[in-house]
Chains A and B, each alone.
Chain A
Amino acid sequence: MPCAATLFRKPAVGAPSRRTRLSWLLVAPLLLLVVAGFLVPIGYTMTRAVDNAEVTGALPRTVAMLERWDGNGLPSEQAFAALVEDLRGADDAQAFGAMTRRLNFELSGARSVMRATRRQLDSLTPPYAESLPTAVPDWDTPQLWLLIKTNSNPFTASFLLRALDLQVTPEGQIEPVPHDRAIFVDLFQRTFWISLWVTVFCVLLAYPAAYYISTLSDRGARYVMLLVLVPFWTSILVRTTAWFILLQREGPMNAALEGLHITDAPLQLIFTRFAVYVAMVHVLLPFQILPLYSVMKRLGPQYLQAAASLGASPWRQFRSVYLPLTMPGVAAGAVMVFMLSVGFYVTPALVGGLQDQMISYYIAFYTNQSINFGMAAALSLLLLVFTGALVAAARRLTPHIGPGPRE
Chain B
Amino acid sequence: MRHILIAIAAWAVLIFLVAPLLVIFPLSFSSGNILTLPVPGYSLQWYRDFLFDGRWLPAAWNSMIVGLATMTLATGLGTCAAYGLNLSEFRGKRFVLMVLSLPMVVPLIVTAASMFLAFSVVGLTNSLTGLIVAHTIIAAPYVVITVLASLRTFDPDLMRVALSLGAPPLTAFRRVVLPLILPGVASGAIFAFAISFDELVIAIFISGPGEVTLPRQMFAGLREFLSPTIAAAAVIMIVLSFALLFVSELIRRRAERMTSARLKTPGGPPSPERNAGPRKALR
**Chain A residues packing against B (C-beta within 8 Å):** 1, 4-5, 7-9, 17, 19-20, 22-27, 29-31, 33-35, 37-42, 44-45, 48, 205-206, 208-209, 211-213, 224-225, 227-239, 241-246, 248, 250-252, 255-256, 282-283, 285-287, 290-291, 293-294, 297-298, 314, 336, 339-340, 342-346, 350, 359-360, 363-364, 367-368, 373, 376-377, 380, 383-384, 387, 391, 403-407
Contacts and interface: CB of A to CB of B under 8 A. Distances in A.
B209 interface: no
Contacts of A405: 101, 104, 141-142, 145, 278-279
Contacts of B106: 42, 384, 387
A97 B150 CA distance: 54
B261 interface: no
A333 B23 CA distance: 28
Contacts of B80: 26-27, 29-30
B280 interface: yes
B275 A225 contact: yes
A364 B109 contact: yes
Size category of the binding interface on chain B: 35 or more
Contacts, number: 316
Contact of A205 (B13, B78, B201, B204): B13
Contacts of A342: 107
Contacts of A37: 115, 133-134, 136-137
B57 to A, nearest CB: 18
Interface string B67-102: 000000000011011011101101000001001111
Given A5-B164, A346-B219, 16 more contacts: A19-B88, A26-B80, A27-B81, A27-B85, A34-B102, A34-B103, A229-B276, A230-B21, A235-B198, A244-B222, A250-B35, A252-B35, A290-B276, A290-B279, A384-B110, A405-B145
A246 B20 CA distance: 7
A201 to B, nearest CB: 11
B200 interface: yes
B24 A364 contact: no
A361 B225 CA distance: 21
B56 interface: no
A340 B205 contact: no
B117 A34 contact: no
A48 B117 contact: yes
15 contacts: A9-B160, A22-B87, A23-B87, A27-B96, A38-B115, A233-B245, A235-B241, A237-B200, A245-B23, A285-B16, A287-B282, A359-B109, A405-B278, A406-B273, A407-B149
Contacts of A238: 21, 198, 218, 234, 237-238, 241
Interface in B98-134: 99-111, 113-119, 121, 133-134
A380 B201 CA distance: 14
Interface of B: 2, 6-7, 9-11, 13-14, 16-18, 20-21, 23-24, 27, 34-37, 77-78, 80-81, 83-85, 87-88, 90, 96, 99-111, 113-119, 121, 133-134, 136-137, 140-142, 144-145, 149, 156, 159-160, 163-164, 168-169, 194, 197-198, 200-201, 204-205, 215, 218-219, 222-223, 226, 230-231, 234, 237-238, 241-242, 244-245, 271-276, 278-280, 282-283
A255 B244 CA distance: 34
B204 A407 contact: no
B84 A34 contact: no
A380 B273 contact: no
Contacts of A228: 14, 17
A345 B108 contact: yes
Given A250-B36, A403-B105, A20 B90 contact: yes
A79 B102 CA distance: 49
Contacts of B140: 30, 33-34
B200 A234 contact: no
A122 B230 CA distance: 54
> Which secondary structure characterizes the binding site on chain A?
helix
Given A233-B245, A234-B238, A245-B35, A30 B81 contact: yes
Given A30-B140, A233-B280, A403-B105, A345 B201 contact: yes
Contacts of B20: 239, 242-243, 246, 282
Nearest to A336: B279
Nearest to B273: A294
A242 B218 CA distance: 12
Contacts of B164: 5
B109 A340 contact: no
B21 A234 contact: yes
A51 to B, nearest CB: 10
B14 A404 contact: no
B13 A209 contact: yes
A252 B36 contact: yes
With most chain A CB atoms within 10 A of its CB, the pick from B14, B96, B134, B205 is B14
A147 B87 CA distance: 59
A248 B228 CA distance: 13
A16 B143 CA distance: 29
A238 B87 CA distance: 40
Contacts of A39: 99, 102
B111 A208 contact: no
Nearest to B239: A234
B34 A245 contact: no
A360 B107 contact: yes
Q: When A and B form their complex, which 5 residue pairs have the shortest distance between CB atoms, in order from nearest?
A: A343-B107, A26-B84, A212-B10, A235-B198, A41-B118
